[in-house]
């Protein structure tokens, strides 16, 4: 896929500059050391779904952003959106701040905080390679406003997680709105599962991260 056809050469060039910074960071933010490979795995994976459907909304949160993927990538492609990138590791957040500053991104802020402090603030919440789908949904659902969306990037493992995710979604006030299936340039299959929030998530969620992972909502009772 030529991302420039959809998003323009300036976006691709800025994403390439981001990947160079990510690869060269002393904090081991990615195992990938080849720029071309990073453009496929991180940039193409982040953006390709939105070449098909666009991106609705203004305010977004990327939970467990790590080195800024997908949050910084999508913030580059959609400069009219506002992004909060959250990670529990301070050194990663500081690197995201550095990347944003050096790339001149004015639509990005970072936080190291408890997810509960951001309840109901966002049009959309993104999670990529953070946790199993039902656990991810429990963390993300309370942070979206009503009619907001949760975006989960998944690989082939989605097939094994789908039923658990649907059980968790029902308890959290979510419905599976769409599945965007696509292949990357290396032919690896990907899925972006998009959930819409129909009603307010019960106040007891999210539970503490250890509890959510040990007793996932998606397990059949």
The predicted structure's pLDDT at residue 72 = 98
The predicted structure's pLDDT at residue 128 = 94
Q: Where are the alpha helices (DSSP H) in 25-144?
A: 35-38, 45-47, 49-53, 71-77, 90-103, 133-140
The predicted structure's pLDDT at residue 220 = 62
CATH number for region 3-214: 3.40.50.150
Q: Are 184 and 40 in contact (CB under 8 A)?
A: yes
Burial tier of 65 (Cβ tally within 10 Å: 0-12, 13-18, 19+): buried
Q: Which of 46, 208, 55, 33 is nearest to 127 (CA)?
A: 46
Q: Are 71 and 65 in contact (CB under 8 A)?
A: yes
What are the average pLDDT values for consecutive 10-residue runs of the chain, which has 221 residues? 84 97 93 95 96 93 93 97 94 96 97 81 93 93 96 94 95 96 95 96 85 82 58
The predicted structure's pLDDT at residue 166 = 96
């Amino acid at each position: 896929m030529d991302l420039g056809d959809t998003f323009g050469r300036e976006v691709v060039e800025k994403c390439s500059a981001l990947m160079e910074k990510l690869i060269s960071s002393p904090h081991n933010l990615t195992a990938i050391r080849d720029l071309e490979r990073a453009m496929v795995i991180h940039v193409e994976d982040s953006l390709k779904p939105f070449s098909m459907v666009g991106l609705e909304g203004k305010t977004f949160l990327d939970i467990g952003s790590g080195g800024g993927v997908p949050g910084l990538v999508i913030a580059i492609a959609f400069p009219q959106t506002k992004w909060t990138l959250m990670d529990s590791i301070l050194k990663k957040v500081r690197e995201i701040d550095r990347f944003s500053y050096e790339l001149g991104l004015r639509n990005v802020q970072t936080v190291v905080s408890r997810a509960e402090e951001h309840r109901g603030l966002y049009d959309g919440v993104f999670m990529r390679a953070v946790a199993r789908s039902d656990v991810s949904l429990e963390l993300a659902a309370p942070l979206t406003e009503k009619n907001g969306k949760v975006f989960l990037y998944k690989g082939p493992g989605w097939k094994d997680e789908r039923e658990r995710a649907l059980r968790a979604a029902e308890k959290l006030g979510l419905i599976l709105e769409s599945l965007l299936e696509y292949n990357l340039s290396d032919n690896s299959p990907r899925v972006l599962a998009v959930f819409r929030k129909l009603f307010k998530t019960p106040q007891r969620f999210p539970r503490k991260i250890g509890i959510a992972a040990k007793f996932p909502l998606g397990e059949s009772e």
